[in-house]
Amino acid sequence: MSTLRQNPEPVADRAPEARPTGAERPTRIAQHRRYLMCAPEYFTVSYRINPWMEPAKPTDTAKAVEQWQTLYDTYLALGHEVELIDPVEGLPDMVYTANGGFIIDGRALGVRFRVDERRGEERPFMDWFAAHGFEVIEPVEVQEGEGDFLLVGDTILAGTGFRSVGDSHSEVARVFDREVVSLRLVDPRFYHLDTAISVLDPVESPGGVERANIAYLPSAFDEASLAVLRERYPDAIQVSDADGAVFGLNSASDGYNVFISPRATGFEQQLRERGYNPVLIDLSELLLGGGGIKCCTLELRGKR
Ligand code: ARG
């Protein structure tokens, strides 16, 4: 894995007394990412499958494309690689590519949507993976890909409660032969795991030491799941309800740059204090469909 950029100068816009010392502020390293995105050319809200969607409220497709383009351009400007899948007319949610699959080491597990409205996306995504050299595994159980499966270090955190079913967690464990930790979501606004957890350091640090860490929204989980999160990630950033409510956690990270909503101001500050570089991208139009930055970003891990 190649290193893109080391931590630059300390962030200047912080009061001196709040500036952590070098010992407290670890060096963050940006690592190269390869993502799959889909332009929202056919984006609209014509049905309601999550509480954010209001079909009666007009959407502005041109604005959605423009905002999405900024995210795309920013990934490229920071040295990442972005592949594109052709949007399909009549599949307005295809822009949320995180729900297209889950990929580790060149192996792509396809998805089986809970909701009928999105089932038409299953084949185009699997076809894309196959055409681009990935080994495709057809799913049996209902699950919505990287919307509910997050790779943190060697472990897969798996969400359930609204979309992906519990049985898909054992399926994903079998397919990738990894530890899977099931977490239950309880707030319908945070119906996919990637709306309530952000993986900040999904990668190994130099020297091979695992330094996986996350940020999460405590109120989105049941008590048992919270206990697991607290125990496993004692250093996690706990994000406020206000930042969660603007989809602050629906973010992507390369280990240094963390792509977040400009409205998640508290989270932005928490990230800076820990030496990350928040990169603010406004996807307000895509939030009308109940998605944000991470939803529009699927990580392509491994072989090509
Ligand atoms: N309208 C889409 C749905 O409800 C939004 C998907 C958001 N994706 C995500 N990874 N959270 O399925």
Write out the chain's pLDDT in tens, 304 residues.
334 444 444 333 434 444 444 455 678 989 999 999 999 999 999 999 999 999 999 999 999 999 999 999 999 999 999 999 999 999 999 999 999 999 999 999 999 999 999 999 999 999 999 999 999 999 999 999 999 999 999 899 999 999 999 999 999 999 999 999 999 999 999 999 999 999 998 655 555 545 689 999 999 999 999 999 999 999 999 999 999 999 999 999 999 999 999 999 999 999 999 999 999 999 999 999 999 999 999 999 996 5
Contact by Cβ (8 Å): 80, 33: yes
Is 93 close to ligand 1, i.e. is its CB under 6 Å away? yes
Tokens of 51: 């509480």
Catalytic residue of the set 38, 80, 169, 192: 192
**Ligand 1 pocket: which of 52, 54, 96 to mutate (most atoms within 8 A of CB):** 96
Q: Does the Cβ of 30 fall within 6 Å of ligand 1?
A: no
Residue 291, ligand 1, Cβ within 6 A: yes
Q: What is the pLDDT of residue 166?
A: 96
Q: What is the largest CA-CA distance in the chain?
A: 55
290 CA distance to ligand 1 middle (Å): 6
Residue 27: the pLDDT is 83
CA 228 from centroid of its chain's CA atoms: 20
- Ligand 1 lined by 290 (C-beta under 6 Å): yes
Which atom of ligand 1 lies closest to the CA of 146? 10
| Inter-residue contact 216 to 239 (CB < 8 Å) | yes
Residue 192 is among the residues annotated as catalytic for this protein: yes
| DSSP, residue by residue, 214-268 | EEE-GGGB-HHHHHHHHHH-TTPEEPPHHHHHTTTTS-EE-SSEEEE-TT-HHHH
- Ligand 1 atom showing the smallest separation from residue 113 Cα: 12
Residues 6+ away with beta carbon under 8 Å from 301: 34, 103, 104, 105, 106, 151
**Residue 297, token pair as written in the block:** 């970003």
Residue bearing the CA closest to ligand 1, atom 6? 291
Q: Is 96 in the pocket of ligand 1 (CB under 6 A)?
A: yes
Choose one of 48, 99, 198 to mutate for the ligand 1 pocket test, by most ligand atoms within 8 angstroms of C-beta.
Answer: 99
Predicted local distance difference test score (pLDDT) of residue 18? 44
Q: Is the shortest distance between the CB of 142 and ligand 1 below 6 Å?
A: no
Contacts with 97 (C-beta within 8 Å, 6 or more apart), sequence order: 36, 37, 38, 85, 125, 295, 296, 297, 298
> How far apart are the CA of 291 and the centre of ligand 1, in A?
5
Task: Write down the CATH superfamily of domain 32-299.
Answer: L-arginine/glycine Amidinotransferase; Chain A (3.75.10.10)
Q: Domain ranges in the chain?
A: 32-299
Are 214 and 236 contacting, i.e. CB atoms less than 8 angstroms apart?
yes
The response to whether residue 50 sits with its C-beta less than 6 Å from ligand 1 reads yes
Task: Look up residue 115 and give its two tokens.
Answer: 């909701």
